[in-house]
Structure 1
Amino acid sequence: MTSWKRNLFILVISQFFVISAMTMIIPFLPLFLQELGVNNPETLGIWAGVIFGANFLTAFLFSPFWGRMGDKYGRKMMILRSGFGMAVIISLTAFAIGPISLLLLRLLNGVVSGFIPASIGLVSTNTPKEKVGYALGILQSGSVSGAICGPLIGGVLASNFGYSMVFIITGICIFLATMVVFFFVKEEFTPIKVSEKTSTLAEFKMITEKKPVLSLFLVVFLIQFAIMGVNPLLSLFVEELTTPETVAFYAGVALSVMGFANMITSPVLGKLSDKKGAQHVLIFSMIGVAVFSIPQAFVTDIWQLISLRFMIGLCLGGLLPAVNTLIRMHAPSGMESRTYGFSNSAMYLGTMIGPILGGIVVSNIGVRGLFFVCAIVLFINVGILKTKVMPTANKTFYKQKQKRNKEKILTQ
């Protein structure tokens, strides 16, 4: 097995365990807060929302810094730094004594997080350029499958061992996954001199001067904004379509089928992006998500909703892997990790703002109206892709393809 394939295989398995571990806490976070003494229903909702979002807030702020460190010390070093850091902090969460200590630990976890972005950076920079789309698609499958299994495993463990023990098990899983990366992942990395005097803002200007990087950051933000604007509020819509006793079950099914579909198509669409261009896969996948979002506003049966969520999942497999492929294609040489750092900040920002504005939309025009709003956002994103990304991406893709063809002819 070649080095890049071995790295990919190990990181897919490691990402599965890390994401599974990190999502184990989702089903019982409000219940854990009750155990910590937050019993008022209104206060409980506020604390749960703040604590859930705290992780993304600090991850948004620190992602560019870790991107700079990745270019200076290597992407593998960033994976190890994040993995061991999260293992310790999440294990300590088991000993939280109140909502404030839990909030501080979640903020700290966001500071050291970055296992997945660093993995993307390592795979994209150590994989042959003609295979990057396929590799990132496979990597996404590992993340999505972990996100599907994590809440289920967390629910089972919490019911058998208690909430605190789940945090300890989560920390152990992340620690073991990081140890596997430490021993078996090999990175080809040449240290790059990174000026300590250059500010984050100056680096952002340097990176975004190269077209169409800034537009790709906006695309990442709007994708995450539209998807996360719906997902946390989907159970409210499921409640309209089914009985109170089955809401939790069908809400889980609606999210799970989308994840399974995403997991299935990510490698396929990643391979297609290597052949035809990530920009084409991205734009058609985004149109698909937007088109399948609209009929959801008119469904009258739970299985209609589940079927449409499955179709959306099939299209989602072509979004983030394709964007990350394009970012790798256009990132300034020697600044790949920093470029991904800013991209991840855009993603975290969309993850934070999406549910907030989604809640405002639902309170004013209802859940069904939310599907129209998200479709409009995605169609706007399609417009940005066609006008700001496609012209440059097409030229770059065909230049790289011609270069690879010439290299093949010379080696034969």
Structure 2
Amino acid sequence: MATFGSFTTLVSLSMLLPFLPLYVEQLGITAQAEIVQWSGAAFGVTFLATAITAPLWGRLADRFGRKPMLVRAAVGMAIVMSMIGLAHNVYELVALRFAAGLIGGYASAATVMIGTQAPPDRAGWALGVLSSGALVGNLVGPLVGGLLPNLIGIRGTFFAGGAVIAVAALLTILVVREDFQRPAKRTDGLPADTGVRQHTSRLPLIALLVTATMVLLSNMSIEPIITIYIGQLGVPHSQLASTAGIVMASSAFGSVMTASRLGALADRIGAWKVIIGCLVATAIVMIPQAFVTNWWSLAILRGLMGMTLAGLLPAIGKLVRQAVKEHQSGRMLGYLQSAQFAGQVIGPLIGGQIGVHFGMRSVFFVTSAVLLGCAAFDRWAKAQ
């Protein structure tokens, strides 16, 4: 059920990608540059808000349970998504998208719940399955967004998205079960502990949070300029949007194929080995993307990159969950979610700047170097 809820909410969040500029124009913005600017702001502000509030929701999950956070996120998203369809101007659109990030976060809440409820020896596999649902949602969302506006209109598409999330909320209330006990309050006058297990150093936790940021950063670094890059590969202008969509979807498709398998591999051979191996493999796959001469080669390489990236988040979630005590797991997994969304915000900004000042092919080289540096850092932190 948590996987289905993550799928539906991410479909609703990502389905606006194909028609967001059209909606911005419908709200009264006519200059091309301003349409691009407002579209980027409306899209990115949701991830920024989620990064801010994820630790708060994680802390509340530790106090009141994980299921209430799932219900809160689903109900909030259903309401806000429907309200976006009622926006009168672009300011309301951006404000409501920001509210969606503040109030929502179903996938983040699901990660906290699965990470704490799954048996330790199956946590990697369980988080891998959950990750697959989220990835499929990001894959299907733009496809749905390209079809529904022609059938029910742009505003109607938002209402449909809100209705689907409402169904997910209802199913969460009825189906999801949680074995949760509120932590006992301390009465001995001693300061509360940090939640980190006694045998665990803080350095590996820091390394894991940095790695989580790098995963999303590396995947999103080329997104702002990938359409332009594909145009340089000889794709006709009339086919740029559809071709770029295929290339972008390739990464998510590759991740869906391997996420649960690599999660299970982390359970079997150790999560640190999977993390370091996937970082190195992704760095290697990044380099030939700078030398492609046609779009389908890029799509294949992006698919391979998705396959190697898929093992990282489940393995990181497994290690973070094992590193902290039960009553602090929600808060720490909330920080993990913030780190991921930070990468999703920072990646396009960095990639765009590198592409403008040093050329688009440089983005792949820089990202590859960052991933290799991250792998070295993780190897060193693991030994501490």
Task: Compute the TM-score of the two structures, normalised by the length of structure 1.
Answer: 0.87
Aligned pairs, number = 376
Query: Residue 80 in 1 paired to residue 77 in 2?
Result: no
| In the alignment, structure 1 residue 286 sits paired with structure 2 residue 279 | yes
* 1:125-177 per-position Cα deviation (integer Å, ceiling 9, x unaligned): 11111111111111111111111111111110011111101111111111101
Give SS of 1:335's match: helix
Match of 2:243 in 1: 250
Q: Which residue identity is paired with 1:213? A: L
Which of 122, 129, 151 is residue 138 of structure 1 equivalent to? 129
**1:381 equivalenced with 2:374 (yes/no):** yes
Alpha-carbon distance in structure 1 between the residues aligned to 2:195 and 2:329: 12
Q: Which of 276, 281, 291 lines up with 1:298 in the alignment?
A: 291
SS of the equivalent of 2:116 reads: helix
Give the 5 Å matches for 1:193-232.
Answer: 210-232=202-224
Match in the other structure for 1:340: 333
Structure 2 counterpart of 1:124:
115
**SS of 1:26 mapped into structure 2:** coil
Q: How many Å apart are 1:63 and its aligned residue?
A: 1.4
**What is the root-mean-square deviation in Å for CA atoms of aligned residues?**
1.9
Deviation for aligned residue 1:372 = 0.4
Describe the superposition over 1:89-126 as per-residue Cα deviations: whole angstroms up to 9, x where unpaired: 11011110001111111111111122111111111111
- Aligned counterparts of 2:185 and 2:211: Cα–Cα separation in 1: 27
Name stretches of at least 5 consecutive residues in structure 1 with no aligned partner: 1-9, 196-201, 393-412
Classify the secondary structure of the residue corresponding to 1:39. Answer: coil
Q: Which amino acid aligns with 1:50?
A: A
5 Å-filtered alignment, 1:1-400, equals 10-192=1-183, 210-241=202-233, 242-388=235-381, 390-391=382-383
Q: CA deviation at 1:270?
A: 0.9
Q: CA deviation at 1:232?
A: 3.4
Give the distance between the partners of 1:161 and 1:318, measured in 2 at CA. Answer: 38
Please state how far the C-alpha of 1:14 moved relative to its aligned partner.
Answer: 2.2
The whole-number CA distance in structure 1 between the counterparts of 2:179 and 2:364 is 44
**Contact 1:286–1:378, Cα closer than 8 Å, also in 2:** yes
Q: What residue number does 2:189 align with?
A: none
Instruction: Report if the CA contact (8 A) 2:16-2:145 is conserved.
Output: yes
Per the TM alignment, residue 391 of structure 1 is displaced from its structure 2 partner at its CA by 2.6
**1:156-214: CA deviation from partner (whole Å, max 9, x where unpaired):** 0011111101111111111101111111110111112579xxxxxx9699999644212
2:215/2:309 contact within 8 Å kept: no
Query: For residues 120 and 191 of structure 1, what CA distance do their matches in structure 2 show?
Result: 19
Query: What secondary structure sits across from 1:212 in the alignment?
Result: helix
- 8 Å CA contact 1:82, 1:115 repeated in 2: yes
Cα drift, residue 221 of structure 1: 1.3
Query: Aligned to 1:189, what secondary structure does the other structure show?
Result: coil
Q: Which runs of 5+ in 2 are unaligned?
A: 187-192
Q: State the percentage of identical aligned residues.
A: 31
1:11-49 deviation per Cα after TM superposition (whole angstroms, max 9, x unaligned): 222222221122111111111000000011111111111
Do the aligned partners of 1:213 and 1:331 also contact (CA within 8 Å) in 2? no
Distance 1:206 1:100, change over 3 A: farther
Q: How far did residue 345 of structure 1 move?
A: 1.4
Which residue identity does 1:226 align to in structure 2? S
Distance, in Å, in 2 between the alignment partners of 1:194 and 1:117 is 26
User: Retained in 2: the 8 A contact 1:210–1:332?
Assistant: no
Cα distance in 2 between the residues matched to 1:192 and 1:345: 24
CA displacement, residues 286-314 of structure 1 (integer Å, 9 cap, x when unaligned): 11111000011111122211121121111
Does the 8 Å CA contact 2:5/2:107 hold for their aligned counterparts? no
Q: Residue by residue, what CA displacement relative to the aligned partner does 1:199-238 show, whole Å, maximum 9, x if unpaired?
A: xxx9699999644212211111122222211233221211
Structure 1 segments, 4+ long, off by >6 Å, are 202-209
Structure 2 equivalent of residue 6 of structure 1: none
One-letter code of the match for 1:277? Answer: G
Other structure's SS at 2:327 match? coil
CA distance in 2, matches of 1:98, 1:381: 42
Say whether the 8 Å CA contact 2:111–2:127 is kept in structure 1: yes
- Structure number with the higher helix fraction is 1
AA matched with 2:204: P
- Tell me the distance in 2 between the aligned counterparts of 1:17 and 1:60: 20
By how many angstroms is 1:325 displaced? 1.1
